[in-house]
Structure 1
Amino acid sequence: MKKASFYFVLAAAFLFSAVSCSSNDDNSSNSSTDPAQVTATVTQGTWRITSFVEDGTDHTSDFTGYNFTFGSNGALTAANGTDTVDGFWTVTSDDGSDDDNSTGDSDFNIIFSTPASFAELTEDWDVIERTSSRIKLRHISGGDGSTDTVTLEKNS
C-alpha cells in the first residue's frame, strides 16, 4: 500500500508542477501536437517504441516486445506477456519553462520509477509529430544540451 501511495503522490506532484505555471493558455498550438488531440490519439489502442535514442545511444531494444497502454486516467502500463511495468503519463501545453525554450508545443510527460531502462523514459518530452499511428517525442537536456528522441507506433 505504501508503494501505491508513493506513486500517487509522485504523480500528483508531477502533474501539479506541470500545469500550475502555464503562461500561454491563450496560445493556440499546432493542431497535430495539440494536447487534446495527442491525448485522444494515444489513448486509442496499444503502442510500441520503435526508436529510443538517448545521448546518441540507441536503447530501442530495451523495449522490444513491450506494448504500452495509455489509460484515460493517466495510468501507463507496459507489458510483454511476462512482465508488466506501471507508470503515469500526461500531455500538457508547454509553458516555456522546460529545458528547450520552445513554446506553443505540447509536453508529453512520462513517469516510470523502475526498472532503470523504463525510468530513462521519465521526461517532459516535446511532441514533435503526431499522426493516427505515430507519435514522435524529443527532449533537449538542460544540462548538456543533448537531444533524446522516442518514437511510438500504434499496434495494428
Structure 2
Amino acid sequence: MMLPVYLGLLQGAERALAESFRQVADGHGAEPDVYHLCQTLAQQCDQHEQALAPAVERYGERPDDEPDRLHAVAMCDTRTGPVGLIRDLQDLYVLASMVDVTWMMVKQAVLGLRDDELIGIVAQCEAQTSVQLSWLTTRMKQAAPQALIVAR
C-alpha cells in the first residue's frame, strides 16, 4: 500500500505551506489583510497537519523511493513591492495547489478503504484548502492591475 507515502507527503506539504504563509505574512506586513489572512491560513495548515496524525499512526508513513520530482519546499524569503506581493502570492498558490491535489488523491484512497474517520478529516481539510486557493486567486486579481500597470 502506498497510502503511507502520500500521508507523509501531505503532512510535509501542509507544514511547508504553513511556513510559507507565515513568511508572506511577515514579508508583506504592510498589507494588513495579507498579514492577518496569511497567519490564519497558516494556523489552518498546522491544524491539517495535526489532524493527519491519527491516520499516520494507523497507516504509517514512509518515504517514497522514487526520485523527488515535485516536493513541497517552504518559501525562504519574500520579494518587495506590489509585484513582489503578487509573485509571492503566486508561489503560495502553486504550493497550495500541490496540497489540494494531494488531498484529492488521499481522499480517493480513503474512500476505497472506507475509513470514515479519515474521510471526515479529508473532507474538512480539503474544503479549507479550496478556500485558501480561492482567497489567493481573489487577492492576486485585486493586486495585479496596480502592480502590473501603474509604474513605480
Q: TM-score higher than 0.5 here?
A: no
Which entry has the higher C-alpha Rg, 1 or 2?
A: 2
Q: Which has the higher strand share?
A: 1
Higher relative contact order (CA 8 A, sep 6+): 2
